[in-house]
Amino acid sequence: MNILLLGSGGREHALAWKMAQSDLLSALYIAPGNAGTSEVGINVDINPNDFDAVKNFVIENKIEMVVVGPEEPLVRGIKVYFLNDPFVAHIPVIGPGKEGAMLEGSKEFAKEFMQRHNIPTARYFSVTAENIEEGYSFLDSLKAPYVLKADGLAAGKGVLILDNIDEAKKELKAMLGGKFGDAGNTVVIEEFLSGIELSVFVLTDGHAALILPEAKDYKRIGENDTGLNTGGMGAVSPVPFAGSDFMDKVKERIVHPTIEGLKEDNIPYKGFIFLGLMNVDGDPYVIEYNVRMGDPESEVVIPRIKSDLVDLFRAVASGELKSKSLDVDSRTATTVMLVSGGYPGSYEKGKEITGFDKVQNCILFHAGTKHDGEDIVTNGGRVIAVTAFGSDKNEALKVSYRNAGLIDFDKKYYRSDIGFDL
């Protein structure tokens, strides 16, 4: 089977690395990919949001399946674009259609979906410039801290958590006034949930659902979860506090009603669902839906999957996922993200990366890297995720950290406390 994978981050390297191990694969292309994906497939210089270019490549290279890594092509409707074109309508696209992608593309849509299908989530109120006064009243009815979310995609920056009511009202006004562009034309105000977060991943064909290994990621730049939010600085899987009781609740209260809800609402869905959950005193609540795998969670979740991922994708496409089960490595996987100094603020690119010949017993998943002649150089804020296995979290982290020290580039930074709270 010839497969085209869209995306260029650590998540895509992990997906490509895994698919490349499948006997079912003939050729794997990654658009646009990074220096790591070029070790397991062929990079092609195509922007995943340029659907015409994607389509032409699919036709010219006899691609038989498209796997979508990031959310943007899904939210922009790559699925319906394919379905509406007679030359590629028969090519399966792994990822939801435009409506399913609204679970990530619109916080308001996601909240209404959860309310309609009795899925546990924080209480909320949805505000536009027209009913801002009602928004202020809702804020007055809540206790601090206050959670404000821009409705649309805002590159992970659209959520504000504020301790003070006056500040919350001021920010609500600023968001509705264009602080996050059109993404904030509608703002969802939420009750604050207090607990510990984790990510749970589901692969579905719209009927059956396989629950993949769960993971915990570390979003803040600084140790002890301080400082600015990033795309993710490291991850651990499995998550010790997600025991079988908790995961049974996730399955019954969240995964099952989500799949049934999509069916009831006539939303076909073939792809990943990423549940951002809060564990509140042992009960799971949905903080957010994403319609893709997580990053850096993929860099620990995908290596723990022993089953053939291409075989699972094929079953997703044909609607036969029910006949499949998941074989999971019981060991713990950890990943530590090496980032460019200055990230998530401004940083330099093009720094030579060394030490590839020194690492041992780990898997390097490239994020922001590219080839520059003979060298591999930095090409983004998040550069390389160093993944390792161990019989427990501490053993895996020891190996991730030993190797994280061996890969080097100018102004390299990483958090040395991944897993500190587990």
> Is residue 294 within the footprint of ligand GLY (CB under 6 A)?
yes
Q: What is the CA radius of gyration of the chain?
A: 21
Residue 297 touches which member of ligand GLY, ligand AMP, none, C-beta under 5-8 Å by kind: ligand GLY
> Is residue 196 within the footprint of ligand AMP (CB under 6 A)?
no
CA–CA gap between residue 263 and residue 266 (Å, rounded): 5
Tell which positions 228-247 bind ligand AMP, by CB under 6 A. Answer: none
Q: Which residues pair with 162 in a beta bridge?
A: 146
Indicate the burial class of 48 (C-beta count within 10 angstroms; 0-12, 13-18, 19 or more).
Answer: buried
Whose Cβ is closer to ligand GLY: residue 71's or residue 308's? 71
User: Which string of x and - marks every residue 205-244 that binds ligand GLY (by CB under 6 A)?
Assistant: ------------x--------------x------------
Whose Cβ is closer to ligand GLY: residue 81's or residue 343's? 343
H/E stretch holding 280: strand 271-280
Measured CA to CA in angstroms, residue 223 lies from 13, 219, 311, 343 at distances of: 26, 10, 40, 14
According to DSSP, residue 277 is labeled E
Whose Cβ is closer to ligand AMP: residue 122's or residue 377's? 122
> Is residue 280 within the footprint of ligand AMP (CB under 6 A)?
no
Residue 192 touches which member of ligand GLY, ligand AMP, none, C-beta under 5-8 Å by kind: ligand AMP
Measured CA to CA in angstroms, residue 398 lies from 10, 268, 357, 384, 390 at distances of: 21, 43, 19, 17, 9
> Is residue 10 within the footprint of ligand GLY (CB under 6 A)?
no
3-state helix vs strand vs coil in the chain, percent to 5: 30, 30, 40
Smallest distance, ligand GLY to C-beta of residue 367, A: 12
> Is residue 57 within the footprint of ligand AMP (CB under 6 A)?
no
DSSP-derived 3-state class of residue 296: coil
Q: Specify whether the CB–CB gap between 71 and 101 falls below 8 A.
A: yes
Residue 232 touches which member of ligand GLY, ligand AMP, none, C-beta under 5-8 Å by kind: ligand GLY
Residues that bind ligand GLY in the complex, under the rule CB under 6 A? 217, 232, 290, 294-295, 297
Residues forming contacts to ligand AMP in the complex (CB under 6 A) are 122, 147, 149, 159, 190, 192-193, 197, 276, 287-288
